[in-house]
Structure 1
């Protein structure tokens, strides 16, 4: 077995596509096919079932994938120790979202930039469901989630904190003068929100829906939502960390509504993956710099 054949096999096995594997590896598709055939010939087994235009791993392929990931991780560790003895290096592809990138990650980004300049981060904005899919497919190395659920099929998950949420409005908004709000009060208001697929937005929508579909004013970014709230366009449910400055300046006010659900900021990676020293470093420092005073939990 050649290392390059294992690299190609791992990519095809995670993507379940010869075409996409060829694109990501910058190979001709015929080269990918040839390498997989050579690997199957050397082992004397079929690694993939070809079902028309689709493929899936055989039982032998599933076994080899576990070994391939361990072999490649060890090869990378050996390369790093021998050729890059001056510290961690390489690129980590990180799935994330605006609320985490802009408001939670800066201390982590600053630390890695100054302390480990050879570790490059490629941040990929995506919804939580997309991040989970990309992690399972091996497209992302690690990802941040903000979800109600802390168990995700095929992933290892580390909870960093329960993420406080706050319902905000402009200080002169009609609801800002109330001492207590009901769902009927909120259903009558104009609601500004992120796109569907954001966990706290979806949970809020379920609470408000009742028997009718709630029309939300969708904005592309949290910053745009905040500007809309300040301008009096409506109310918004957001992570508290994203509006701390506006609350302190009196640009927005917290509305008196007891939020009946919780979401948790989490780190996730593919189950069974051997963690490189760079990934271990990222996880350790994320826990140290981003974790709140909440119990730390890990689940699969």
Structure 2
């Protein structure tokens, strides 16, 4: 059982395609097939069921994939340690969103800037559906999601916390201070929102919909929405972390309406991919620092 055969097997098992694995590894497809056959012969088991033009892992293949991930991760760690003194380095492509980047990630970014300056974190603004697609295609290494669902096909996820949502308005808005707001009250108001595809915006729109489409006023960023709200242009449903400062200063007021749905901030990466030490480090520190930050915010 050779390391290069395990690398090829891991790539085929992740992509579920001999052709795509050959392209990513810069091999001829016949070479990939030969290596998988050699691995199966050395282990005495079939690793893939071949069903016409499709493949899937056998039970033995699924077990081997777990071992292969561990073996290749240890190989990478050993190679890095023996290479001498470099420490974690390289670039991580991270799919994220404005609310996470601006309000949740600063402690994490500061940690990497000071502790691991050779690790470059490349942040790519992206809607959740786009992030999931980019992760499955190997375009992003890791991604942040804020969605109702916590299980995503083809992805491993860690739920950091439930993300509280609040409905806000300017203090002088007609709905400010009213008790027991109904959906009819909200439908009659001007509603400021992010673009379609944002999970909590789509859930809010579905909650308000009776017939046709709710006429949301779409703004490009959360900061633009906040300026619109404070100017009295309308109301908005936003993560509470994004408006905490404005609520504390009295620039906005929270309306007495609680969303009947919830979203969770999550960290996701492609299932079956071999995690580099840099990616493992990012996941571990993101979970630690962001959970701590969110826990402190809840207790405060």
Match of residue 76 from structure 2 = 76
User: Aligned residues, how many?
Assistant: 288
Q: Is the 8 A contact 2:193 2:216 kept in 1?
A: yes
* Structure 2: gaps (5+ residues): none
The alpha-carbon distance between structure 1 residues 33 and 99, as it changes in their structure 2 partners (threshold 3 A), is: same
Q: Aligned to 1:160, what secondary structure does the other structure show? A: strand
Residue matched to 2:151: 151
Distance in 2 between residues matched to 1:109 and 1:22, nearest whole Å: 36
Cα distance, 1:287 vs structure 2: 2.5
For residues 237 and 84 of structure 2, the distance between their equivalents in structure 1, rounded to whole angstroms, comes to 46
Distance 2:219 2:239 in 1: 15
Partner residue of 1:188?
188
Please state how far the C-alpha of 1:201 moved relative to its aligned partner: 1.0
1:293 partnered with 2:295: yes
Q: Distance in 2 between matches of 1:155 and 1:32?
A: 28
The equivalent residue for 1:114 is 114
- C-alpha contact (below 8 Å) 1:48/1:61 kept by paired residues: no
1:194 shift after superposition: 1.4
Equivalent in the alignment of 2:217: 217
State whether residues 8 and 35 of structure 1, in contact with CA within 8 Å, keep that contact through their aligned partners in structure 2. Answer: no
| 2:272 is the counterpart of 1:251 | no
Once structures 1 and 2 are overlaid, which stretch shifts more, 62-71 or 77-86? 62-71
Q: Residues 287 and 147 of structure 1: is their aligned pair in 2 closer, same or farther, counting only changes over 3 Å?
A: same
TM-score (norm 2): 0.79
- Within the alignment, does 1:174 sit opposite 2:170 as a pair? no
Is residue 39 from structure 1 mapped to residue 35 from structure 2 by the alignment?
yes
More displaced 10-residue stretch of structure 1: 217-226 or 146-155: 146-155
User: Is 1:282 the counterpart of 2:282 in the alignment?
Assistant: yes
1:198 Cα deviation from its structure 2 partner: 1.5
Task: Mark the runs of 5 or more structure 1 residues left unpaired by the alignment.
Answer: 295-300
Rounded to whole Å, the distance in 2 between the matches of 1:140 and 1:99 is 19
Q: Structure 2 CA distance, aligned partners of 1:90 and 1:281?
A: 12
Q: CA deviation at 1:22?
A: 7.8
Instruction: Please give the per-residue CA displacement for 1:48-88, whole angstroms capped at 9, x wherever unaligned.
Output: 96978xx6556598777556544432331122111144532
* Partners of 2:23 and 2:193 in 1: CA distance: 36
Distance 1:250 1:260, change over 3 A: same
> 1:15 touches 1:138 (CA, 8 Å); kept in 2?
no
Closer, same or farther: CA 218–34 of 1 in aligned 2, 3 Å:
farther
Offset, 1:282: 1.8
Scaled by the length of structure 1, the TM-score of the pair is: 0.79
CA RMSD of aligned residues (A): 3.3
**Distance in structure 1 (CA, Å) of the matches to 2:248 and 2:136:** 40
Taking a change above 3 Å as real, the CA distance of residues 91 and 56 of structure 1, as seen in their structure-2 partners, is farther
Alpha-carbon separation, structure 2, partners of 1:126 and 1:13? 27
Specify the alignment match of 1:96 in structure 2.
Answer: 96
